[in-house]
Chain A
Amino acid sequence: MSEGRVPDIALQKVSKTFANRQVLKSVSFDVTPGEALCVMGRSGTGKSVTLKLIIGLLKPEAGSILIQGRNIVGMSEDELSGTRRQMGFLFQSGALFSQFTLNDNLALPLGRFTNKSKQEIDSMVQMRLEQVGLGKDRYKMPAELSGGMKKRAGLARALILDPHILLADEPTSGLDTVTAREIDDLLLKVREQSKTTMVIVTHNGGGARRLGGRVAVLDKGEMVALGTIQELEKNENELVRALVSEEGCYAH
Chain B
Amino acid sequence: MAVPVIMPRQGQSVESCIISEIRKKKGDNVAVGDILFVYETDKATFEEEAKTDGIMLDVFFSEGDEVPVLTNVCVIGAAGESAGEFRPGNAGATQGAVVQDAPEVKNAQAATETRGGKPEASVSPEGKPLSETKGKQASEPEGKPAVGQEEAPRDLAATLKTEIAPGISPRARELADRKGVDTSRLQGSGPQGRIIERDVLAAAEAAKTSPLARRMMKDDPSLSAARGTGLAGMVTGRDLKTGTAAGRDINSGMPAGGSDFEIKPLTTIRKLIAKAMYQSLQNSAQLTHHLGADARRMTALRKKVKKAVEEGRSADITLNDMICYATIAALKKFPQANAHFLGDSVKLFSKVHLGVAVDTERGLMVPVVRNADSLSISELSGKIREIATACRKGSIDPELLSSEAASFTVSNLGNYGVEIFTPVINLPQVGILGVNTIVLRPKDLGDGTIGFVPYLGLSLTYDHRAIDGGEATRFVKQVAIEIENLDFEI
The finding on whether chains A and B are genuine partners in a shared complex, rather than unrelated, reads no
* A residues whose Cβ falls under 8 Å from a Cβ of B: none
* B residues whose Cβ falls under 8 Å from a Cβ of A: none
